[in-house]
């Protein structure tokens, strides 16, 4: 075991990548069929989702066994850190593209449509944000920053603090502190999602603010919806880590899986701050 620990661990050939590819192909095909109203599309999509869940349990279970079995040394740990860093960077670029779309619409496209040169096309349109655009005539109410959005900001910032406390508990080998504060972090994440779902329902029912509400509605739901999707993924990963903590996994000097999820959660926190400022406040 000590000789193995000095080497860079290379896993044996695995069938899980093929299983995962099959799941993604099935989900893509099922979604395409469903969107086009083809019979059986939902079944194909559901089958792909089931295969994906099966793959996640199998593949991550194997990785957990390798980690707990002592196969990963510092060199492997460094590879994991680089891989997670590049993954988060790709997520930063993902949201940067969406923020760039919002910036372009507000700074260039909409003012251009409302200037004097285009009064022949849109004579009654005067640009002022928030706006759904010159072709949208139904009244709607923009989402205010204060209320649920501000409360959700406090919740996410608090979850970052509780997760950091949980991490300190792990580093100090205080398992009770780790488990309690990690559970609180998950609860805060679930609370955030519940409030966002309520906000969406209220927007559709009482504010006439929908995904089809012109440029404002599309950018609002695109940015906040994708962020909510990332919070869902992060909360799911935290739940998996929580179960592993209850089983006694992770050691004060060997717990990168915990750190990786913490990095991801803090990234979600930072993105929400930009969302709150650019989408709700400004």
> What are 185-222's pLDDT values in tens digits?
999 999 999 999 999 999 999 999 998 898 999 999 99
**At 29, which CATH number?**
1.10.287.70
Domain co-membership, 2 together with 84 = no
Q: What's the rounded Cα separation, in Å, for the pair 133 and 220?
A: 14
120 and 46 in a common domain: no
Q: Are residues 233 and 180 in the same domain?
A: yes
Of 71, 89, 108, the residue that ends a domain is 71
Q: CA-CA distance, 240 to 279, in Å (whole number)? A: 31
Rounded to two decimals, the pTM is 0.87
Q: Do 173 and 59 sit in the same domain of this protein?
A: no
Report pLDDT for 226: 94
Residue 112 structure tokens: 């251009």
* Together in a domain, 211 and 103: yes
Residue 180 sits in the same domain as residue 245: yes
Q: Which domain covers residue 171, as residue numbers?
A: 73-281
Burial of 183 (C-beta count, 10 Å sphere; 0-12/13-18/19+): middle
Q: What is the DSSP letter of 180?
A: H
| Total residue length of the chain | 282
In tens, the pLDDT along 158-183 reads: 999 999 999 999 999 899 999 999 99
- Structural domain count of the chain: 2
Cα–Cα distance measured from residue 45 to residue 36, given in angstroms and rounded to the nearest whole number: 13
Domain shared by 5 and 99, yes or no: no
Residues 96 and 207 occupy one common structural domain: yes
Q: What is the pLDDT of residue 254?
A: 83
Are residues 39 and 25 located together in one domain of the fold? yes
Last residue of a domain, one of 33, 53, 71: 71
Please tell me whether residues 115 and 133 are part of one structural domain.
yes
Domain endpoint, select from 71, 95, 116: 71
Q: Hunting for tokens 């930009």 — which residue is that?
A: 274
Torsion region of 138: left, alpha or beta (phi above 0 gives left; psi -120 to 50 gives alpha): beta
Clarify whether residues 47 and 80 are in a common domain. Answer: no
Sign of the four-CA dihedral 151, 157, 160, 162: negative
Q: What is the pLDDT of residue 2?
A: 45
* pLDDT value of residue 32: 94
pLDDT tens, per residue, the chain with 282 residues: 444 456 777 888 899 999 999 999 999 999 999 999 888 999 999 999 999 999 999 998 898 888 888 888 888 888 889 999 999 999 999 999 999 999 999 999 888 887 767 777 777 878 888 888 888 878 888 899 899 999 999 999 999 999 999 999 999 989 999 999 999 999 999 999 999 999 999 999 999 999 889 899 999 999 999 999 999 999 999 999 999 999 988 888 888 899 999 999 999 999 999 999 999 998
- Please choose, from the candidates 269, 272, 275, 273, the residue with its C-alpha nearest in 3D space to the C-alpha of residue 159: 269
SS3 251: strand
């Amino acid at each position: 075991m000590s000789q193995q620990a000095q080497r860079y661990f290379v896993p044996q050939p695995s069938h899980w990548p093929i299983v995962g590819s099959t799941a993604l192909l099935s989900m893509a095909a099922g979604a395409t069929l469903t969107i086009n109203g083809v019979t059986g599309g939902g079944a194909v999509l559901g089958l792909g989702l089931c295969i994906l869940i099966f793959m996640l349990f199998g593949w991550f279970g194997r990785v957990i066994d390798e980690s707990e079995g002592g196969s990963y040394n510092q060199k492997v740990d460094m590879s994991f850190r680089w891989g997670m860093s590049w993954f988060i960077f790709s997520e930063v670029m993902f949201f940067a593209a969406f923020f760039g779309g919002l910036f372009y619409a507000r700074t260039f496209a909409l003012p251009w449509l409302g200037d004097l040169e285009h009064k022949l096309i849109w004579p009654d349109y005067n640009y002022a944000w928030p706006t759904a655009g010159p072709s949208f005539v139904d009244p709607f109410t923009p989402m205010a920053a204060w209320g649920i959005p501000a409360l959700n900001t406090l919740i996410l910032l608090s979850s970052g603090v509780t997760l950091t406390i949980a991490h300190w508990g792990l580093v100090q080998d205080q398992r009770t502190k780790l488990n309690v504060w990690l559970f609180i972090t998950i609860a805060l994440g679930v609370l955030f999602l519940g409030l966002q779902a309520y906000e969406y329902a209220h927007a559709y029912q009482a504010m006439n603010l929908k995904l089809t509400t012109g440029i404002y509605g599309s950018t609002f739901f695109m940015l906040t919806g994708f962020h909510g999707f990332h919070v869902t993924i992060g909360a799911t990963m935290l739940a998996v880590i929580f179960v592993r903590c209850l089983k006694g996994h992770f050691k004060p000097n060997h717990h990168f899986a915990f750190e990786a999820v913490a990095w991801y959660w803090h990234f979600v926190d930072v993105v929400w701050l930009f969302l709150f400022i650019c989408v709700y406040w400004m």
